Amino acid sequence: MTKKSIVIFLATFLVFFALLSCKKRVEIKPPAPPSQKAEEKAMPVEEVKEAPAVAKPELSEEEIFKAKTLEELNREKPLQMIHFDFDKYDIREDAKPILEKNAEWLRRHPTVKILIEGHCDERGTEEYNLALGEKRAKATMEYLVALGISPNRIKIISYGKSRPLDPGHNEIAWAKNRRAEFVIIAK
């Protein structure tokens, strides 16, 4: 008997034996029945929720604006105030971007009419401050008009030094009080 024939014999025997044993195992091991516990874990919990509230139809910016009273609008201060230098009424560089923003808002709301209030600090006399406050309001108005806002939409008024924002008697208070404020008077 040659070495080759021994190998073939052994291989054939192994294959046969293996096949025999495979078949046997399949028959012996049926699938195990799933246990009671496992079945419980697998059950998904369904969270019970209320139906979502009925949404109100989404409002456009225009509609939100229309729904507000003048008082509510003014409380939100959509138009920012600007400040002035001591004894001066020309528009400062830092006020220009603020006025541009204000003009943009006014263009978006073309029905709005505004009142520009000119105010002064306490370091001016009563009479001269009334004039200076009006000059400030007027300079502010003219800047907005130059940006394309109709002068018919703007009124001006001066309060002189009678309505300070900050009642203090120092540079910080004075700087705050030299201002032009915007009040929406019609929409």
Partner 1 sequence: MRIFKVYLSFIVIFGFLAIVAFNQQEVVIRIKGGMPAIPVALPKFIIHSDNPKIIKAAKEIHDVLKADLKFSRVFELVPEEFYSYIKLLDPNNILFKDWESIQSNVLIVGEVSSSKDNKLIFTGSVYDVRSGRFIFGKKYRGSSNLVRLIAHKMADEMMKAFGEKPVFTSKIVFVSDRDGNPEIYMMDYDGYNQIRLTFNDVIDTLPALSPDRTKVAYTSYRRANPDLFVFHIYTGKTIPISTKGANYAPSWSPDGKKLVFCSSRSGNHEIYIVDEDGKNLRRLTFNKAIDTSPDWSPTGREIVFTSDRSGSPQLYIMDAEGTNVRKISYGGTYHDSPSWSPNGDKIAYVSRVENRFDIYVLDLRTNEIFKLTENNARNENPSWSPDGRHIVYSSNVSGTIQIYITDYDGKNTRVLTSKGNNKMPDWSY
Of 82, 95, 106, 130, the one binding partner 1 (CB under 8 A) is 130
Candidate residues 134, 141, 149, 181; the one interacting with partner 1 per rule CB under 8 A = 134
Check residue 128 for interaction with partner 1 (CB under 8 A).
Answer: yes
Say how many residues touch partner 1, by CB under 8 A: 19
DSSP string, 141-158: HHHHHHTT--GGGEEEEE
Choose the stretch contacting partner 1; rule: CB under 8 A; options: 23-31, 44-52, 62-70, 153-161.
153-161
- Residue 121's CB is within 10 A of a number of other CB atoms, namely 23
Site for partner 1 in 51-90 (CB under 8 A): 87
The residues, any chain, with a CB within 8 Å of residue 76's CB and separated by 6 or more, are 68
Is the Cβ of residue 91 or residue 117 nearer to partner 1 in the bound state? 117
- Under 8 Å between Cβ of 90 and 180: no
Least distance (Å) between residue 74 CB and partner 1: 14
On the 0-12 / 13-18 / 19+ scale of CB atoms within 10 A, 33 is exposed
Residue 159 as a binder of partner 1 (CB under 8 A): the answer is yes
The residue from 131, 145, 173, 175 that contacts partner 1 (CB under 8 A) is 131
150 binds partner 1 (CB under 8 A): no
Characterize the bridge pairing of strands 179-186 and 113-119: antiparallel
Options 65, 68, 78, 122; binder of partner 1; rule CB under 8 A: 122
77 torsion bin: left (phi>0), alpha (psi -120 to 50), beta (else)? left
